[in-house]
Amino acid sequence: MLAGAVVLSLLPVTVSGCGITCACAATADPNWTPEPITAQEAAISGAKAAGRGTVDDPSMTAVPISGPNGRAFYEATSANTLALVDSTSGSVLEVVLEDQLPNDATVSASASDARTAAEAFMQRAGNLEGLSESAQVVRRVGVAAYEVQWNPAEKDATTFVVWVNPSSGSVFAFIDLRMQLNLTAPIVGRDKATELAIAALGVPGETVTSAELAIDFATGSQASAWQVSVGGETVRVDAASGLASIAGS
């Protein structure tokens, strides 16, 4: 009787276990796709990668957007911070820290300093095992930045890029290129953008009332631009190239 009781007590577990085993062995539905993550989950992931807030209080909010190549993403934002989060995997593919963007061509930090800052950032953002590292100074439109890359040793491809302000030694952008999407980090800071906007108008001394960084993927590739309101006009300053254009002209 005792043996029988043991068998009966185990029967539900055995049946349940069989159900799990059978489900795992079943042929996967080729049309099945994982549920997208929630906006809250995207905000938490973005905040963690950017080093903003905590898990309980991520200090970021997220909204769904159409990202590169029409892929669904969340754009998580907080003050001076933006993160692009894949809505399916939850992977953070880009982080931009607006208040750390370069505004001049000063290079005070060494390449070693840039690597150290980039590696510290990557402790939150991605696994560098098996990747080789390189760093170089990039100069564009009167600003300079360190570009720190990690590449697979056996492939001619870049996996991660971290951008470091060479004046402050602080990270200002991160990009995960493993999905091979058209992502390009902004490099021009707010102060430099306003300088370029005033120069484009050709009226020195004009008052800048606002400068907001906007990122969109309408063309399938990333476009990052400062929308600068100055002297009653709106000037668009490309945050990657520094090219300025006056709205409506």
Identify which of 157, 170, 192, 193 has the alpha carbon closest to the alpha carbon of residue 96: 170
The pLDDT assigned to 232 comes to: 86
In whole angstroms, give the CA distance from residue 129 to residue 131.
Answer: 6
The pLDDT assigned to 33 comes to: 56
The pLDDT assigned to 224 comes to: 96
Does this model's pTM top 0.85? My answer is: no
Percent of the chain with pLDDT over 70: 83
Residues of the chain with pLDDT under 50: 1-28, 32
The pLDDT assigned to 166 comes to: 97
Is residue 64 domain-shared with residue 155, that is, in the same domain? Answer: yes
The pLDDT assigned to 245 comes to: 94
Is residue 70 domain-shared with residue 151, that is, in the same domain? Answer: yes
Is residue 165 domain-shared with residue 194, that is, in the same domain? Answer: no
Is residue 126 domain-shared with residue 66, that is, in the same domain? Answer: yes
Is residue 129 domain-shared with residue 219, that is, in the same domain? Answer: no
Picking from 145, 176, 207, the residue at the C-terminal end of a domain is: 176
The answer to whether residue 34 sits within a structural domain is no
The pLDDT assigned to 183 comes to: 93
If one counts the domains in the chain, the total is 2
Picking from 128, 153, 176, the residue at the C-terminal end of a domain is: 176
